[in-house]
Amino acid sequence: MAASQPQRRVTKVPEIRRGDTVVVLTGKDAGKRGTVERIVRDPQGLKKTRTKYGNRLAKMSPLVTTAVVVEGINIAKRHTKPRQSSNTTDRTPKVTQGGIIDLAQPLSMAKVMVVCNHCDKPTRIAHRTLDNGRRVRICRHCGEQMEAQS
């Protein structure tokens, strides 16, 4: 009985990364471009989505529970009160200033599309394995390798 060789595990490459330029497809900011600040994976949102959709969730897109925060897009105003800070030193003020703060809210990953650095077009992403075994993202339009700007 010959021992079978274990299959080499291929690492998943995320479609959208921090530092990528994306264009918004739908909503109030449709057509605007911005840079991805962070990716939000929400397990609580997944639990709520499972409750809502049940077994149909497996047939839905994996992008349902993942969101991206894009710089300057989907801005919400947050009203904050001035508060006493508990950890006060001589460098930090004892009272944080209140006011109105502009915060970028998460967008569903399905509502944005990556923009290629080389051809400057919104594109879907292909993957290619290099000779050294590394997987990279490839632009579907121009075929060039995409790298994040971070």
CB 100 within 8 Å of CB 121: no
Tell me which residue range forms the domain holding 112.
21-88+98-117
Domain assignment of residue 8, yes or no: no
Domain assignment of residue 72, yes or no: yes
Predicted pLDDT at 83: 83
Domain assignment of residue 44, yes or no: yes
Q: How many domains does the chain have?
A: 1
Region 27-54: mean pLDDT is 79
SS3 per residue for 25-56: CCCCCCCCEEEEEEEEECHHHHHHHHHHHHHH
Percent of the chain with pLDDT over 90: 39
Domain assignment of residue 143, yes or no: no
Supply the mean pLDDT for the chain.
81
Does 75 have pLDDT greater than 70?
yes
Residue for token digits 């930090």? Answer: 92
Does 40 have pLDDT greater than 60?
yes
Predicted pLDDT at 14: 67
Q: Which of the four pLDDT bands, split at 50, 70 and 90, describes residue 6?
A: low
Region 1-21: mean pLDDT is 69
